[in-house]
Amino acid sequence: MNRYSIFSLIRNSVNYHQDWQRAWRSPDPKKEYDVVIVGGGGHGLATAYYLAKECGITNVAIIEKGWIGGGNTGRNTTIVRSNYLWDESAGIYEHAMKLWENLSTDLNYNVMFSQRGLLHLAHSVHDMQEIGRRGNAIHLNGIDSEFLSPAQIKEMVPFININCRYPVMGALLQKRGGTARHDAVAWGYARAADAMGVDIIQNCEVTGFRMENNTVKGVETSRGFIGAKKVGCVVAGNCSVLAEMAGFRLPIESFPLQALVSEPIKPILDCVVMSGSIHAYISQSDKGELVIGAGSDAYNSYSQRGGFDIIEETVGPVVELYPIFSRMKMLRQWGGIVDVTVDRSPLISKTPVDNLFFNCGWGTGGFKATPGSGNVFAHSIAKGEMHPIAEPFSINRFNSGALIDEGAAAAVAH
């Protein structure tokens, strides 16, 4: 792998950028791997990267039915934060945050991680109590969070309409929160994993599992059988489909979640602003587009599209909070299929089948966890025992009742 640096940039510019190496190979699948990762999203790619880098397992393949990063990784609104209520969540999201803070250097790839600060608005007494409780819980876990008054919010976002239909009464700020470039995260992990020998196999769909004595032996794919000593499944909205192939069910349902971006404008919004109770969240990309996250449809679907009514419900509050945006034109709108658990926390888990591991259930908010999730999943697969940070996120919690209820606690989807 050629290292990217200011010198490689200069060297290549004199050749009119004709000689850049391909960022990763396109190998044919081998007969067998030590580990096969199903799903080439951020989480799957990160898993393969840390397997190779930290666990010494390089005989690894990532099997992706489409192109890498084409799932929710390339469809999300890229909000990164670690200010969750429960200790278990603080464990995994803060682990991810620490990895984010050094990720571009680690991967030698600019993932454009920008800790521009993230605001959660409160619009009612109940909201104020919620951010109070959560803010203090976050402090106890040693994670940064600050309370802002409406005047302080106005200082950060001068054009916000504080006295709107549901007046802004305060906010919780995580200064270390922000955004990252989603595609770059997929590409950076792919390039770095490939350099250590990981095979990235695109346009190859897993259609079944081969099992003997309740132990997985490999995957059936559209390009034939690929043997594996261990298999990690990281397929987000399609996890129930893969679980069915392996003969079990998951405590998950899949829903379309939408986002939209506006035409690009000059810099106006330099932080991320989220509002759970009226469901409007917004940031501005480095290209200048306003990135607006919408809600999810209220019925199961795999139709990567989403209902039209949801867009209306989303832009209404945005215009109410930011009247200045009322005449913006929207350029694109799309949907991704999110894998939602009832407690809004992920599953990182062994399964009823030996040597088959699942990492899913990240639902509407897993982009921020990408490095941490891949890291602990890699260690869990390598060792055959769940990493301590991953342990509480086992499928068994839905039988024991030890749910990690971030849905009810944070009332914010992302």
Partner 1 sequence: MLIIECPWCGKRDQTEFSCHGEAHIARPLNTEELSEEEWGDYVFFRKNPKGLHYERWVHAHGCRRWFNVARNTLSDHIHGSYKPGETPPTIDTQEVSQ
Can you tell me which of 284, 301, 370, 373 binds partner 1, judged by CB under 8 A?
301
Asked if residue 113 lies in contact with residue 81, where contact means CB atoms within 8 angstroms, the answer is no
Can you tell me which of 12, 23, 34, 70 binds ligand FAD, judged by CB under 6 A?
70
Asked if residue 343 lies in contact with residue 405, where contact means CB atoms within 8 angstroms, the answer is yes
245 binds partner 1 (CB under 8 A): no
Asked if residue 378 lies in contact with residue 364, where contact means CB atoms within 8 angstroms, the answer is no
* Segment (H or E) for 155: helix 150-156
Range list of β-strands (E), 74-223 = 79-80, 118-122, 146-148, 170-174, 178-179, 199-201, 206-212, 215-221
Asked if residue 204 lies in contact with residue 222, where contact means CB atoms within 8 angstroms, the answer is yes
Least Å distance, CB 276 to ligand FAD, is 13
227 binds ligand FAD (CB under 6 A): no
246 binds partner 1 (CB under 8 A): no
d(CA 226, CA 230) in angstroms, rounded, equals 11
Report the partner that residue 250 touches, choosing among partner 1, ligand FAD, none (CB closer than 5 to 8 A by kind): partner 1
- The residue range among 40-48, 49-57, 89-97, 142-150 that interacts with ligand FAD, by the rule CB under 6 A, is 40-48
115 binds ligand FAD (CB under 6 A): no
Q: Residue type for 166, please?
A: Y
Tokens of 2: 């050629």
Report the partner that residue 39 touches, choosing among partner 1, ligand FAD, none (CB closer than 5 to 8 A by kind): ligand FAD
Report the partner that residue 103 touches, choosing among partner 1, ligand FAD, none (CB closer than 5 to 8 A by kind): none
Burial of residue 52 (CB within 10 Å: 0-12, 13-18, 19+) is buried
Q: Residue type for 72, please?
A: N
Least Å distance, CB 128 to partner 1, is 29
Q: Residue type for 155, please?
A: E
Residues 76-95 that bind ligand FAD (CB under 6 A): 76-79
Q: Spell out, one character per residue from 241 to 260, where the chain touches ligand FAD: x when CB under 6 A holds, - when not.
A: -x--------------xxx-
Can you tell me which of 21, 26, 207, 300 binds partner 1, judged by CB under 8 A?
300
Least Å distance, CB 279 to ligand FAD, is 12
d(CA 272, CA 269) in angstroms, rounded, equals 8
297 binds ligand FAD (CB under 6 A): no
Q: Spell out, one character per residue from 337 to 366, where the chain touches ligand FAD: x when CB under 6 A holds, - when not.
A: -x-----------------------x-xxx
Q: What is the largest CA-CA distance in the chain?
A: 64
DSSP helix/strand/coil, 184: helix
Exposure b/e, 269-307, CB count within 10 A at least 16 = b: bebbbbbbbbbbbbbbbeeebbbbbbbbbeeebeebebb
Nearer CB in complex with ligand FAD: 7/308? 308
Burial of residue 152 (CB within 10 Å: 0-12, 13-18, 19+) is middle
Q: Which residue has the tokens 């106006």?
A: 268
188 binds ligand FAD (CB under 6 A): no
Tokens of 399: 């039988």
Report the partner that residue 240 touches, choosing among ligand FAD, partner 1, none (CB closer than 5 to 8 A by kind): partner 1
- The residue range among 50-58, 159-167, 261-269, 294-302 that interacts with partner 1, by the rule CB under 8 A, is 294-302
Residues 358-387 that bind partner 1 (CB under 8 A): none
Can you tell me which of 34, 106, 220, 253 binds partner 1, judged by CB under 8 A?
253
Under the rule (CB under 6 A), what is the footprint of ligand FAD?
38-44, 63-66, 70-73, 75-79, 205-206, 234-236, 238, 242, 257-259, 293, 336, 338, 362, 364-368, 414
Under the rule (CB under 8 A), what is the footprint of partner 1?
238, 240-241, 244, 249-254, 298-303, 305, 307-309, 342, 398-401
